[in-house]
Structure formats: structure tokens, C-alpha cells
Structure 1
């Protein structure tokens, strides 16, 4: 980690003025969007693989994992955990698995799943499954003011995300996104949430590698939701 910046989540600088009101609305109104059939099928199949391969093993979720590079790194870094990487793009997941061919063996504790995390998170939460760790690495920032409800902390699925527990880590090159994310976590859970400037060594995702090479400052927050 470089620098000593630790930004309190209560700082309002740059945080969308409607975020607090939106969080109150989502906290009081359960998200009842119907599940897409393919998401339900993908969830059940992945849960069966997990329970067969590693029953009782701590679970790591790598949400919106793209080509799955970060999921692969996590599976190798935590061999005593089971890692599920979820992305809605079958093309990205297939490309990642194809690129891995010819390299070292695919970890037995890794599963890549094609699903929309909005449904996947809710299905995990409804099933009462708790995570040991949860990664959100460089989510789409949706930077326009009108995009607040598309950011994960402004989306109605956010309470379900928090309900999965574990050590939640989110990284971004846009500090406002993380300031809002931490503010939302604190309002919803009363748990402390701070932002660190962060130097990844090595980078875990193609985006992280690109941002690092171009001189972007990178930030992360790690929040204990256990």
C-alpha cells in the first residue's frame, strides 16, 4: 500500500446527495424482481458442485469476475477455500478459461458461473449461505449523476449483498465510488468502512493492470460483515 490516506466514510465530499434517501427506501422495501430462469438453474448447479466438491469449506465469491483472472488468483491463494467466480458474460468466462489452457492445472477449488449477480446474490441470501470473503473488483462506476441507482450501493439488491456477510473487499480507481460504497455500508450496517490507497502486487484483473500501467491511483475498502 502506498500513501497514508484513509478517508472516513462519513465524509460527504463527492457523495451523491440522494444516496441516503435511496438507501432508506431499499432498506424498507424488499427487492422482489422475479428471478430469471437461467440464473436459478446456474445457481442450483453451482451449489451442487460446491456441496459435492467441498462440503463445509469456507466460500469465496468473486462477483462480476470478467474473464476469471481474479478468481483463479484467489483459488490459488486460498487453497483451503472454495471460490466461485460469477459473471453474466459467457464470452468473457470462456475466453478466460481458453487463455488458461496450456498453463498450470485448473484449481479443483474453483468454479466459474455464468449468471447475473443480482439474482445470484439474492439466491445465496435466500438459501442462508454465508460467505467467508466477497470481492467486487473494479465494478462499473456508472459515473453520471443520473446513474446512482445503477451503482451497487444504490441498487435495490444492496441489502442482499450485505446480508451475505464475510470480508467484503471492493476496489476502484474512482474514489467517489468507494466513498459512496463505504457511506452506504455504514448507513445500512453501522459497521466501520474506510478507504485505502492501494498498490496491487501483482494486479488481479485486466482493469487493475491497465489502470496501474497508466498511472491511476487505486483504492480499496475491506469491510468485515461477518
Structure 2
């Protein structure tokens, strides 16, 4: 359940720590290929994205890609584009309503980004099979699904988790729920990686959720992990 806390939302949950089922679930997903058929819309979206990425990279050998998954209204996407002029920042969110709000958040005059509505369960698998130079992958404040029974709706408990380590050189995940970050870290450790977890704060909030959480005194937690072999 989520309840109001000041001007943001505070997570309440019936889960007191890392799920007892986490290791079993993660190992199952790592050992079994996720074979769900791709939706036609996902294939069309990926084809359009691939054309844009190919054209962008062809112009300069120093260019690279940044993924901004669960980008919401795209404020973080624009922020990352402004900070990384040699990158094409790809923001992806499942909500058409949120994606259409991007025009209200163009606080920087940048053009090196693209916002897409898409299903990450499909697009992550498709992108993982490319050789795109993806330096960073951000997952900022994803839906935490805080009920204990919803572990497999969280990204680290989902079947698509096995694609995440294949997507970028570095992964950055933030949440205002410490258990989500702790679970994600343990999932990556099960996959043979070495994540770092810390409290996070900055002078500039990157997303509307981050801004609201900090305004109400909530703490953000961040996971960073090198995904390079």
C-alpha cells in the first residue's frame, strides 16, 4: 500500500526485509531463457529506434548511448542529454500519457535524446542482442510493487532480469525503498556481479518523484554496478 506523506508518497509494505524467495526466483530466471513472443508493436518500436541509433552513431565515432528506463515524463532523459552531449539518451516508458508530457520538461535546449513508449520486457531483450555502445543504463524510481507477493513484478524478480546485465557498461538504480535496492543488489550478486549500494542525494533532482521525495524528507537509495566482463 502507498500512503501520502507530506507532498509525496511513502511506501508501506508487509515485507520486512529481502524476500526469502529472491535467490530461488533469480536463479530460475537466470537459468531459463525468457521466450515470451515479442509484441508486434515492440518490434516496430525497436526497428524505429535502431534506425535512429544507427544514424546517430554513424556521424561520430566518439558517440555512445545512454538508456533511461522507466523515464516517466522524460525529465531525467533531458537532464542526461544535457550532461552528455556525445550521447543519444533513449528514454523508455510504458505509459503513453507520461511520454506525451515530455514537451513540458524541455528545460535544456538539447536534441540528443529520444522518448519512446514501449514494453521493457520486449525492448530490453531486443537491445541486449545489439552491439550498441551503451555506457550507462538508468532505472530511476521504478514501481516498487511493495507487497511481498509481488516480488516477480519487480525488475530484479522478473523473467527479463537476465537481460539487464547485458545492456550497458554501468547500471544505476534509485528508489526510495531500501528493500528494493537491497534486493536488486543481491540479484546482481547472484548473477556474479559486484554492485555498490549507498544513500543518494544531489543538489539537483532528476525526476519529479525524486524532487517530491526529497521535499518531504524521504531518503533515496542508489545502486551502481559495473556490468563489463
TM-score normalised per structure 2: 0.87
Deviations 1:169-202 (A, max 9, x none): 00001000000000000111x2221211111220
Match in the other structure for 1:181 = 184
What CA distance in whole angstroms lies between the structure 2 residues aligned with 1:46 and 1:150?
A: 26
Does structure 1 retain, via aligned residues, the 8 Å contact 2:139–2:172? yes
What CA distance in whole angstroms lies between the structure 2 residues aligned with 1:46 and 1:127?
A: 12
How is 1:1-226 mapped onto 2 (pairs within 5 angstroms)?
14-55=17-58, 56=61, 57-97=63-103, 99-100=104-105, 104-105=108-109, 107-188=110-191, 190-226=192-228
What CA distance in whole angstroms lies between the structure 2 residues aligned with 1:31 and 1:165?
A: 19
Q: Decide which moves more: 87-96 or 64-73.
A: 87-96
Tell me the number of residue pairs that the alignment of Structure 1 and Structure 2 aligns: 210
Give the unaligned 5+ runs of structure 2.
1-15
- Which 4+ stretches in 1 moved above 6 angstroms? none
TM-score normalised per structure 1: 0.89
What CA distance in whole angstroms lies between the structure 1 residues aligned with 2:130 and 2:28?
A: 24
**Structure with greater contact order relative to length (CA < 8 Å, sep ≥ 6):** 1
What CA distance in whole angstroms lies between the structure 2 residues aligned with 1:32 and 1:131?
A: 24
Secondary structure, in 3 states, of the residue corresponding to 1:39? Answer: helix
What CA distance in whole angstroms lies between the structure 2 residues aligned with 1:195 and 1:48?
A: 36
Does structure 1 retain, via aligned residues, the 8 Å contact 2:75–2:206? yes
Deviations 1:5-38 (A, max 9, x none): xxxxxxxx81100110111111111000111111
Match in the other structure for 1:10 = none
Aligned-residue CA RMSD (Å): 1.4
What CA distance in whole angstroms lies between the structure 2 residues aligned with 1:104 and 1:20?
A: 42
Does structure 1 retain, via aligned residues, the 8 Å contact 2:82–2:108? no
Larger strand proportion of the pair: 2
